[in-house]
Each structure stands twice: as C-alpha cells, then as structure tokens.
C-alpha cells in the first residue's frame, strides 16, 4: 500500500492580537522586503526601483494580511485627493456602465476613487457637481463629450483624458479612442462582399466626433465600389425616433436600399420595427447592422450583425492614461481594436 502524502497547507501571515490592524512593517516582514519597498509598491512608484516579482510579492502579502494604507495621511503628504471624475453623456445604455466598470477597476488597483457623473445636458456643458471640482479632484475622464463642455469642471489645470474624441482637436491632456473608423470599414466591406449596392445610413442626430467619423468612413468606403448609392437619415438615439426616420426613408422615392447601416444598436432596433411595418423581411429584403454589441443585439430576431466595442477595456485604458498623465508619463498611444460580429440580420440582397 502506498502512503498518501497530505499536501502542505500554506500558512497565511497573521498579525499579533495586540495589533489587529496590519501595518506596512507587517507587510514588509511577510514579503521579506524593506518598508521602503512596500511604500514604493503600494504607492505605485516601484517601476524601475524594484522587480516585478518583488512588487507582486508585496501585493500578495498586503492582500493576505488585509492591509489598507492610511490614504488620508498619504494624500495629505502628496497634496492629492486621489479622486477622479468620470463624466458621461447619459446612463441610457449599458455601454457607459461598462466604461465605468473598467475605469473603476484600474482606479481601485491604484488606490483611487472614481465618481460617476452623467452630465444632465448630455453632450452640452457639464455643471460642477462639487463646490469646487478643482479642489475635490485629481483629474477627469470624459467620454464622448466636447472638451470645452467641461470648462466649469476642470478650470485651467485639472488633468483631462478624453474618450471617443478627436485626437487632433482635443483640449485634454490625451485622448483614448476605439478604432471606430475600422469598425465602419468592416461593416461596409461585409455588406459590399454580400453584394449590396444601395445603402441607407441611419445616423445618430448628435454633433459628436465619433458619429462624424462613422459617416465619413462609410461614404469613403462605398465610393471604392462602382454603382453604389448612399442615402442618409438622421434620428436621435431612441427606438421610436429610429422607427420614424427609417420608415420615412424607406418610403422615399428612388431605389430602395437593401442595406441599412445604423450608428447604434438602439437605432437598429427601431429600424427593425420600421421594416416590419412596411412588410419587409430581415435579412431577405433588408440587411441591418449596428454598432456597440449591446445585450439588445442578441435579443432582436434575427440577431443583429454589429461591431463589438469593448466598453470595459475602454474605461480601463482611459483610467490608465490618466494615471500616466498624473505621474508625468506619456500614455501608450494607439486605438483600441474593434471587431464585426456577423449574425442573422445580414444576407445577400434580394434578386431584382
């Protein structure tokens, strides 16, 4: 009979009963490093000073001990509040919830708090929700808004990272963007490859850089194929407005579009309703695409072909960029890749 070896149980560092709250000295002892190293790692200033292995050992020891730094004292020394404001146009879709989730995750990992502020005016000027935002905050991340709409919040000096904004015309310290131009090109190439030549663009009726990019890229891509036509209808991002605008556009004279490109999944849902009111079948009579890949996309029947935007990664990179700005580093450049998810709402156009 073979002896069975019991696995050795890894002991968790403990703190003496008379010292119930662990200190940085306890973390240093558990990790086998100096208190200075603990301070560097937990203050996120370890790069170039200690190794990645050591930094991970310190983080693990701090987690096992339940160590929490005295942020109030540290902030007083640094002259910081370690609070960041995330401004979004509205909380009408899950996309901005994903942006918040990603940004908050990175903020928490670095000892920052993240306050979510949906601007009451949408993409218009954002009011200062604090008595003095410049005194209460270390920085601002703003998604899908014009930088000049944030003047009341940031004044002249609060670091600002713009999401989904013109990288060449932003007043922020840096911009972080999804590669929405490539997403639009993927849609156009997919529909052209299926044989579509008559297009309707259901454009979001919002003055925003990201929607300008979608319109421009779609028009540019379609001109590469002879014989294409493109009409445009505008609608606010609501299902009812999308239904009304789509129905009017499909009833208009001229060649009926066989492909409908929507700036947003919610617009696509309204387009579905309009098509069915007119007795059109999706995708046999009309192919429809969206952008966002919300949960709504798979609730529609047939499921919607759309461009997947990784909202959480978007938020993560926005917060990471702000941390770099606060530390005097240059944020990593480059747009976040997007990808087309092909589902049942697209097919070759009907035979004349």
User: What domains can be seen in the chain, in order of their start residue?
Assistant: 24-69 (1.10.260), 79-176+312-326 (3.40.50.2300), 180-308 (3.40.50.2300)
Provide the pairing of β-strand 113-118 with 160-163. Answer: unpaired
**pLDDT tens-digit profile of 190-235?**
999 999 999 999 999 988 889 999 999 999 999 999 999 999 999 9
**Predicted confidence (pLDDT) at residue 148 exceeds the cutoff of 90:** no
pTM of the entire structure?
0.74
Question: Tokens for 199?
Answer: 């297009």
**Predicted confidence (pLDDT) at residue 12 exceeds the cutoff of 90:** no
Contact 281, 221 (CB under 8 A): no
pLDDT band at 16 (very low <50, low <70, confident <90, very high): very low
CA distances from 78 to 33, 40, 53, 75, 116 (A): 24, 14, 27, 5, 24
More confident residue, 56 or 20: 56
pLDDT band at 153 (very low <50, low <70, confident <90, very high): low
Cα 191 to Cα 75: distance, rounded to the nearest angstrom: 54
Cis bond before residue 302 (omega within 30° of 0): yes
The per-type count for the chain, helices as H runs and strands as E runs, is 13, 11
């Amino acid at each position: 009979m073979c002896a069975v070896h019991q696995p050795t149980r890894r002991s968790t560092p403990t703190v003496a009963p008379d010292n119930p709250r662990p200190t940085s000295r306890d973390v240093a002892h558990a990790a086998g490093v100096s208190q200075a190293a603990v301070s560097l790692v937990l203050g996120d200033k370890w790069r170039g000073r200690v190794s990645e292995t050591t930094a991970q050992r310190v983080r693990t020891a701090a987690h096992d001990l339940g160590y929490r730094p005295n942020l109030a004292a540290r902030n007083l020394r640094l002259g910081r509040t370690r609070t960041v404001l995330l401004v979004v146009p509205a909380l009408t879709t899950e996309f901005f919830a994903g942006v918040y989730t990603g940004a908050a995750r990175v903020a928490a990992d670095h000892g920052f708090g993240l306050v979510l502020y949906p601007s009451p005016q949408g993409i218009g000027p954002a009011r200062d929700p604090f008595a003095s935002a410049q005194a209460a905050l270390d920085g601002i991340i703003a998604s899908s808004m014009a930088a000049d709409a944030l003047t009341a919040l940031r004044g002249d000096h609060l670091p600002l990272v713009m999401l989904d904004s013109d990288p060449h015309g932003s007043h922020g310290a840096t911009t972080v963007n999804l590669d929405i131009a490539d997403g639009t090109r993927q849609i156009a190439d997919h529909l052209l490859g299926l044989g579509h030549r008559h297009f309707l663009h259901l454009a979001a009726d919002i003055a925003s850089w990201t929607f300008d990019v979608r319109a421009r890229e779609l028009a540019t891509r379609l001109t590469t194929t002879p014989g294409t036509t493109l009409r445009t209808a505008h609608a606010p991002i609501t299902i009812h407005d999308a239904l009304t605008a789509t129905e009017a556009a499909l009833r208009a004279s001229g060649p009926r579009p066989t492909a409908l490109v929507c700036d947003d999944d919610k617009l696509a849902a309204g387009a579905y309703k309009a098509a069915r009111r007119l007795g059109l079948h999706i995708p046999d009579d009309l192919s429809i695409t969206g952008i966002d890949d919300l949960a709504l996309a798979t609730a529609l029947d047939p499921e919607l072909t759309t461009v997947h935007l990784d909202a959480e990664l978007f938020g993560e990179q926005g917060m990471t960029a702000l941390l770099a700005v606060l530390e005097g580093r240059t944020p990593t450049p480059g747009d976040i890749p997007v990808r087309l998810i092909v589902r049942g709402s697209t097919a070759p156009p009907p035979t004349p």
